[in-house]
Amino acid sequence: MADVALRGVTKIYDASRTATRAVDGVSLDVADGEFLALVGPSGCGKSTLLRLVAGLDTVSAGEVRIGGVVVNDVPPGARDVAMVFQSYALYPQMTVFENLAFALRVRGVRGEALRARVHAAAETMALTPLLDRRPAALSGGERQRVAVGRALVRDPAVFLFDEPLSNLDAALRVQVRRELAALHQRTRGTTLYVTHDQVEAMTLADRIAVIAGGRVQQVATPAELYARPANLFVATFIGSPAMNVLRGADAEAIGAPAGVDVGVRAEDLTLDGAAALRGRVEGVEYLGHEQLVHVRVGAASLVVRHAASAAPQVGEPVGVRIARAAWHCFDAATGARVDVPA
């Protein structure tokens, strides 16, 4: 395996004389054996970054290094990376065995060496009973396992995943996510994993890079991102439901200084009839083990995690208590995290 380093990487598309900066001066380090997830909203540049590492797109500025070697001018086939796409990209006329073997044949692997590597990958991905089938005879989850197995059989320096689970239904996503986690634990392969699904990122990755507008907003472990987001974008993007934010007069009403927005997680709010902060219930979402209560307080709509057994009714007036220790404070002008004395 190998490490990956990006230094000031920029990608500019020039369509109809209007330059689009899809990736803007990104610098990242992915350690040998690390699983790094790239997350962000659609169009933020995360898939473009992956394509730049793979060599499928050319870098406009900056450097891409794999194993310490600058690969900007190295063709994709010589970069020793394996990419798994959202669309599976399997050869429909080939069996599972032939799909797994194809990249090895291209590299001149033949005979027993080829069969041994294909069967080892098939066993790892639980594909052995399916080796004689064609993709049309497989389920979505099985096709995705073939796509992953095809990358695995090459034993690349770096694995690249571009939203590999987005075409699967909810149950299959959970299943394949577990399989990917177990695979990484066994192989410790250096992995860059693009997803818009923060649950995937937080359950799979050693670290997460949050991207917006082609720029890296924060790189940290899942726990660090959740507990101490670097700015308001990260705070509201990471976590479900999204972090509540009180701005302007609403923030000042709970004691925040002027020019500071206050973010609070749903689990750090409590419905309390004696609380000074008053609001009215706008809606209740029943989730089985809990309910999410939406409360209108001033200009803000707050989401409160609440026990499933005793939620208030829509339209009911309620009090909301916010623990001061749970505040996340951000500069109202820049969105950057700031420390405000308790």
Average pLDDT over residues 91-97: 94
What distance lies between CA 143 and its chain's CA centroid? 22
The string of pLDDT tens digits covering residues 270-305 is: 999 899 899 999 999 999 889 999 999 999 999 999
Cβ atoms of residues 194 and 47 within 8 Å: yes
Percent of the chain whose predicted confidence (pLDDT) is above 70: 99
Query: Which single residue is written with the structure tokens 């429909």?
Result: 92
Our CA angle for 163, 166, 169, nearest 5°, is: 155
Please check whether residue 319 is in contact with residue 278, taking contact to mean a CB–CB distance below 8 angstroms: yes
CB 90 within 8 Å of CB 143: yes
Whether the per-residue pLDDT at 17 is higher than 70: the answer is no
What integer best gives the mean pLDDT of the chain?
A: 92
Distance, in Å, from the CA atom of 174 to the CA atom of 160, rounded to the nearest integer, reads 19
Quick one: pLDDT at residue 15?
A: 62
pLDDT for position 117: 92
Q: What is the pLDDT of residues 305-314, one digit of tens each?
A: 998 887 789 9
Q: What is the pLDDT of residue 174?
A: 86
pLDDT at position 155 is 83
User: pLDDT digits over 230-276, tens only?
Assistant: 999 999 999 999 999 999 999 998 999 999 999 999 999 999 989 98
Q: What pLDDT score does 302 carry?
A: 97
- DSSP annotation of 295 reads E
Provide the pLDDT for residue 144: 85
Quote the CA–CA distance of 60 and 53 in Å, as a whole number: 13
Confidence of residue 126 (pLDDT cuts 50, 70, 90): confident
What's the residue count for the chain? 342
8 A C-beta contact, residue 224 and residue 237: no
Cα angle: 155, vertex 119, 175; to 5 degrees: 80
State how far the Cα of 97 lies from the Cα of 281, in Å rounded to an integer: 57
Percentage of the chain modeled with pLDDT above 90: 70
Strand ranges (E), the chain: 4-15, 18-30, 35-39, 61-66, 69-70, 81-84, 158-162, 190-195, 207-212, 215-220, 244-246, 260-264, 269-271, 277-286, 290-297, 300-307, 317-322, 328-331
| Count of CA atoms in the C-beta half-sphere (13 A) of 53 | 34
For the chain, which domains are there?
4-229 (3.40.50.300), 241-331 (2.40.50.140)
The residue-averaged pLDDT of 22-38 equals 97
Query: How many Å apart are CA 213 and CA 46, to the nearest integer?
Result: 10
- Confidence label for 88 from pLDDT (cuts 50, 70 and 90): confident
- What mean pLDDT comes out for the span 47-59? 96
Look at residue 168 in the predicted model and tell me its pLDDT: 76
Where residue 115 falls among pLDDT bands split at 50, 70, 90? very high
d(CA 332, CA 316): 31
Question: Which pLDDT does position 34 carry in this prediction?
Answer: 97
User: What average pLDDT does range 201-228 have in this prediction?
Assistant: 96
Phi, psi angle pair for 272, to nearest 5°: -145, 115
Using one digit for the tens of pLDDT, what is the confidence trace for 139-182?
A: 888 888 898 888 888 888 999 999 888 877 888 788 888 888 88
289 or 18, which is more confident: 289
User: Is residue 118 over pLDDT 70?
Assistant: yes
**Which ranges of the chain would DSSP assign to H, the alpha helix?**
46-54, 96-106, 111-124, 140-152, 170-187, 198-204, 222-227, 232-237, 248-253
